[in-house]
Structure 1
């Protein structure tokens, strides 16, 4: 069975095998609703009904529906005996025959879409006869050799004693013919004598079809290969598509440029090639094509076909976008939609749009409820930028603009605290004397050893706490450890002022070996039962208290209570349970480690937890790395996970200067795209103030033609623009050689920003008394032909009475080449 949708009556479908059937397409109830008798379902909402039948011409070789509006329902049939018959399904049968001189099979025929009265027919080979006949179906009887004849003759004949394997019209007056199994010939039919305009040597002469949307693109096939040609460069195909089986039919989508459907023999699916997406993928320039398979999704109620049923043909719908109808050998037809790959478009102003082919489906923006599902970080960044995020003078004040992000809020608070603490302690600790925002790695003097490990010169004092009734009560002390604990917010003098829950305060008191204080804090809260439990603490390894605590504390829900019991029941000095308790904050684990781990173990712990924080992109890792170059991998990982380029940029600008130039540029681009010009200017000022090295250098300079020294205003590294001092680069020996104006012999001004006239001679016109644009009079103007020039006011005066250039020996008619603007004087 073969198929074709009518090009004019687009709700009618032709199907033929033993007989020719005309179907009418109509809407129907969606599945699982039943159809009325005589209807055949071809999709969920479409059904076909047979409205006419032709049985007079069994097993036609080829059929093409008439594309004109004056013969609705007419079709051309090519038969095995070479006859071409025009017929209709109407009550008034219109029939006309075109008969070749010699009987042979019709291989191909096609109506001319631009001139529907022309019909091209491709025939098998016959000696001394033509392979291609082009008929004008509007002509009646023909006057031949002086006699009237009832036999119609072709208007044009091509290819004597040759075989036409397939034919296809290109535009209105050009015809492609696959001939003799080895050539594709392009004929120009505009003149009375057809001309062969181009030839391609190829075995792919079958199924020639032209992309109606882009008519210089042609496809043909041979065996298991499909060739795609460009008629503007017809020497070789620009694309060869290989298939696993022999190809039986090709067809371009009539509503979408570059979408080619290919049906293989004994296949249950159609291969779709998107040649518009061909890209240069190899050095030889071989194009790659997007390819996908279309398998008809037959409903389960249809018992005569499934996903493995072999297809016999297909037909694109001429007007309905991406609709293709397939047929099986047992007559089952089904229509499918070829959905476009969705193209998402996301604007910087938080508008998301996606399209399907030529139709726009939807737009949503950040005011839409559906948009909230996307959790678009750019919406937050824009809101924060409007609130001055990162630009506030006090670092902790920036945390108030990120109330919705606890991690960022705590980070800005910590940075403010760290800066104050460092200013206070930097004279006591040499390791932080040059760092404003040190982390544990910097304070503990950790450095990479070049082989992936770290070394440290940290020296700590061992303290045996005999007052505490715990065997493993040995602790370590040093100025560096104390400073790190202060960065962690630990202070035994003000435990009641610590932030967090009572259990956290109690745990920190216990880690400072203040057991009674820990019990008191718990007893004063809702944890009196826990206070009573630890009040019975015994360090005896065989005590009932220890045995019960070891067996039950891991089931407790509060991580700080678990840490309390883990500390009291610790059998050795490794404290692995507490150090790897993920529900404890990084600050509390680090503070604990600074008290109870020896130097080597402390350094390894800090390195391990730093690597873990970097891997997770957790900003609490700043406590370990500080805002130093060691934090760059952490910030990069955070940026990769959250896309929060704004926070990375403002954090780095406020703390690290030149190490983050790229993030700052991205931040500037964002502000520009949001049209937040004031915020952009404030960010620029902050960036340049904190790091003058980021100030862009001028891209255009002016230099002396004689000595080569610059006379423009270069940026001075390390000095703000407001304090830059420019000096003249004019030496005494060069001063007299500099360009002089032709009338006043006044030197060109340098970039001092003053507009006064140099020299002792005063200008002829008092420019301060001129009404319009007085600055223009001091501009330096020159002729684009002879390159001579001077001050505008002097040139204006000269050319009022002269036509030639004022330079001696120059005959250029400057005033006749360009019009000099007249400024009021």
Structure 2
């Protein structure tokens, strides 16, 4: 295989044999890999090896080869050579020797290169070759290897040489060059030939004229007939693949431009309309799945096309390839490095149903699926499964906002719902004045909500020097205070005594201890200059937590706190701080060892909760630094889609953008929609982004047929906007489609007691549609027209008329009907009927209407009002 020219070809008869040729012709047999692989075997894939059975080195300057296509135990080759001869050869003694085929030479009159050779797929005696041009000689020669003149001449003229006696039985293409050729599968004497870089010609050797059709083109190489459809051909030229239909041979039905020059193109024998091609200097196999190529039967409106994809087998710089004749999508590739046995995997069409079913095609013969109950599906982390579970639990619709966080099964969402409850509480008790927005963020409270661009927009803060009172030290810390900062601190969950400037919400710290968050509780105490309190918290935690030794050591380290900037305590803390695993403990020592009020190591400690970092900034940063820090933190959290940023943005346009980014990352349209309808002001609910979330979630509930949850969601949405829902159900005429109820509502508001409706005491009746005058349906019980006023009645008294214009009539007069059989009548008649019967009151109708009604099954019978 050292030759530059390398070819490989599966045997069309023997499914486990193939040949390769370059400077020599080799025959291989494919077998499965066993426990041991002999050195003489070639590994061609992870599961197969190739045994070298025989080598034929008798023929030089080989240009083309074709394998005898009929079922025989041995392999017979037709070898086209550079001198134009076609030699029949085998790999050692075979049954073909007795037929006189082995070694037979089929030579043209004048020597020139043989470009193509092909056995006839129907008549095994016929073989055709395509030659280069010679002035007055033919380039397409047809031979009959068993009935050629050679057989007669050999008997009577033993002195005549074999090559001089054999003559072709038919010829074509005088003074032309045949570049490639291919037989038609169902026409034993017809073939197509690529001629002179100019034409494709269809030749019928039964016709004296021979050429029956032709088309001008330069795509004359690798000519091949579709094994599944004799009308379809493929050829190529440079970087262009052309597909032809012999019924419309004037022009190609499809042209596939490629990025590089094409070196080989072949139809796949096991798949309809699938082509494989190689390109120069490319290690990929290009597949072309031709669609709607049969123009003759597909209609003139169907445009042919091809679905193209690229696969990269484990080969490098392939020289050629060959499809397996039987095994689906299997092929052999050959390169200077060796052989590769490769199977092209099918495209997998995946369908992900709204009900959490994942289905795909398997081996082109079956469809497989998994559902949300399968263990493998759970590893997909499909948000829709959690969404459905939340919807069944009425997530987001519970009256208390904090209750919804317990159903979220997500810590970030839980914290957000609890913050929404906190912010609404602060607004409702007038701690924070925000009449239009019930959920203001920290930036909004500080008047930095995007509409204000400078620190001058909020009140200047007061600098307070607060002492470390609980350790008996005169050392003080700088703290910034203002009314807006106090309100923002309460949004962060921190409450302070205005007189002593101390944290007085001990319930907050007690809750943290109950939850086991001792480091956080200790850090918050230190931030509020309660060092002794922090040491006590750590000691209590050391007695309850498994990491008791660490907390004891930290408490011991805190007890040695010194305000001296040059002390050994501070030096050791700076060196050891990074070794602490808990972010709150790292932040604690970063605060105690900070220089010149530089608190970057605390503010940038990502392991701390956002509300604690913001609260720390509200206490210890000046106005300018606070403004800059909140701006950067808001931008960072918004880009990350971190819902903790809602503390800063609140229910604002920035909050909408934050939720949208969260949706892009998680796909949790449910939480975004529910937070929107429960927290956003009516103006922001009209934003296009928000409406898309709401419509998507409603459509999702509809797809799951969760009608009750959809109804509750709609009710909550209408409640948040204080908008009266429009009428959605009407009684309309079956003939003209116009609303009967809308017409009667207009009549009910007619003028005076003796107006159009009259002033009688009789109830309004009508027997036909007021628009088209077609009769209304009759009651199946009383056989009278269901001519009520569609739920409206008028009063016979002038004094009561204005109050009762729109009063509903008795339920007994309402229209009612079965959704299955469409039979019905007056509501009280139907109700009374089904108290004693199970079938429809209409004769010959066997519909059990009442048993189809869910309310009837539950035993809640309708009552006449």
Give the alignment's TM-score, normalised by structure 1.
Answer: 0.70
**Map of 1:437-456 to 2, 5 A cutoff?**
437-448=439-450, 456=457
**Map of 1:564-603 to 2, 5 A cutoff?**
564-603=588-627
Q: Please say which of residues 588-597 and 347-356 is displaced more in the overlay.
A: 347-356
Are 1:658 and 2:673 matched, yes or no? no
Deviation at 1:674, TM superposition (A): 4.4
Are 1:323 and 2:325 matched, yes or no? no
Are 1:62 and 2:64 matched, yes or no? yes
Helix, strand or coil for the counterpart of 2:197? coil
Deviation at 1:376, TM superposition (A): 3.4
| Residues 588, 773 of structure 1: alpha-carbon distance in 2 compared, 3 angstrom cutoff | farther
* C-alpha contact 2:372 2:385 (8 A) present in aligned 1: yes
| Residues 535, 195 of structure 1: alpha-carbon distance in 2 compared, 3 angstrom cutoff | closer
**Map of 1:476-495 to 2, 5 A cutoff?**
476-491=480-495, 492-495=503-506
Task: Deviation per CA, 1:128-154: give whole Å up to 9, x if none.
Answer: 554334567787889x9xxx9999987
Match for residue 616 of structure 1? 640
Deviation at 1:434, TM superposition (A): 0.9
Match for residue 229 of structure 1? 243
The CA RMSD measured in Å over matched residues stands at: 5.2
Q: Distance in 2 between matches of 1:263 and 1:696?
A: 64
Match of 1:768 among 779, 785, 792: 779
Task: Deviation per CA, 1:221-254: give whole Å up to 9, x if none.
Answer: 55x545433335653671343647xx76543443
Helix, strand or coil for the counterpart of 2:418? helix
Match for residue 185 of structure 1? 201
Unaligned runs of 5+ in 1: 279-284, 297-306, 703-709, 715-723, 733-752, 779-821
| Residues 541, 62 of structure 1: alpha-carbon distance in 2 compared, 3 angstrom cutoff | closer
Q: Distance in 2 between matches of 1:130 and 1:673?
A: 70
Q: Distance in 1 between matches of 2:744 and 2:525?
A: 62
Are 1:121 and 2:134 matched, yes or no? no
Q: Distance in 1 between matches of 2:704 and 2:20?
A: 57
Q: Distance in 1 between matches of 2:323 and 2:181?
A: 19
Match for residue 433 of structure 1? 435
Helix, strand or coil for the counterpart of 1:238? strand
| Residues 442, 64 of structure 1: alpha-carbon distance in 2 compared, 3 angstrom cutoff | same
Match of 1:475 among 455, 475, 479: 479
Match of 2:286 among 252, 256, 273: 273
Are 1:90 and 2:94 matched, yes or no? yes
Match for residue 241 of structure 1? 258
Match of 1:634 among 654, 658, 680: 658
Deviation at 1:116, TM superposition (A): 5.7
Deviation at 1:620, TM superposition (A): 1.2
| Residues 109, 585 of structure 1: alpha-carbon distance in 2 compared, 3 angstrom cutoff | same
| Residues 540, 772 of structure 1: alpha-carbon distance in 2 compared, 3 angstrom cutoff | same
* C-alpha contact 2:397 2:716 (8 A) present in aligned 1: yes
Deviation at 1:445, TM superposition (A): 1.4
Q: Distance in 2 between matches of 1:197 and 1:183?
A: 10
Match for residue 420 of structure 2? 415
Deviation at 1:13, TM superposition (A): 2.2
Task: Deviation per CA, 1:647-692: give whole Å up to 9, x if none.
Answer: 2222223222333122223333444554545434443444454458
Match for residue 797 of structure 1? none
Task: Deviation per CA, 1:354-405: give whole Å up to 9, x if none.
Answer: 67874779765544544444433333333333333223333222222233x2
Q: Distance in 2 between matches of 1:4 and 1:561?
A: 71
Q: Distance in 1 between matches of 2:455 and 2:250?
A: 67
Deviation at 1:440, TM superposition (A): 0.6
Match for residue 335 of structure 1? 340
Unaligned runs of 5+ in 2: 1-5, 292-303, 496-502, 543-550, 751-763, 790-842, 846-865
Are 1:206 and 2:236 matched, yes or no? no
Helix, strand or coil for the counterpart of 2:258? strand
Deviation at 1:409, TM superposition (A): 1.7
Helix, strand or coil for the counterpart of 2:416? helix
* C-alpha contact 1:495 1:505 (8 A) present in aligned 2: no
* C-alpha contact 2:405 2:414 (8 A) present in aligned 1: yes
Q: Distance in 1 between matches of 2:42 and 2:569?
A: 83
Q: Distance in 2 between matches of 1:13 and 1:545?
A: 81
Match for residue 717 of structure 1? none
* C-alpha contact 1:218 1:230 (8 A) present in aligned 2: yes
Match for residue 384 of structure 1? 390
* C-alpha contact 2:214 2:249 (8 A) present in aligned 1: no
Q: Distance in 2 between matches of 1:230 and 1:762?
A: 64
Q: Distance in 2 between matches of 1:385 and 1:581?
A: 36
Deviation at 1:337, TM superposition (A): 0.5
| Residues 87, 614 of structure 1: alpha-carbon distance in 2 compared, 3 angstrom cutoff | same
Deviation at 1:209, TM superposition (A): 2.6
Q: Distance in 1 between matches of 2:777 and 2:378?
A: 66
* C-alpha contact 1:314 1:326 (8 A) present in aligned 2: yes
| Residues 107, 611 of structure 1: alpha-carbon distance in 2 compared, 3 angstrom cutoff | closer
**Map of 1:26-37 to 2, 5 A cutoff?**
26-29=31-34, 33-34=37-38
* C-alpha contact 2:449 2:649 (8 A) present in aligned 1: no
Q: Across the two proteins, how many residue pairs are aligned to each other?
A: 707
Q: Distance in 2 between matches of 1:569 and 1:448?
A: 35
| Residues 547, 131 of structure 1: alpha-carbon distance in 2 compared, 3 angstrom cutoff | closer
Give the alignment's TM-score, normalised by structure 2.
Answer: 0.67
Deviation at 1:444, TM superposition (A): 1.4
Deviation at 1:543, TM superposition (A): 6.1
Q: Distance in 1 between matches of 2:135 and 2:620?
A: 106
* C-alpha contact 2:84 2:108 (8 A) present in aligned 1: no
Match for residue 827 of structure 2? none
Task: Deviation per CA, 1:146-186: give whole Å up to 9, x if none.
Answer: xx999998776433332322212355346321112332234
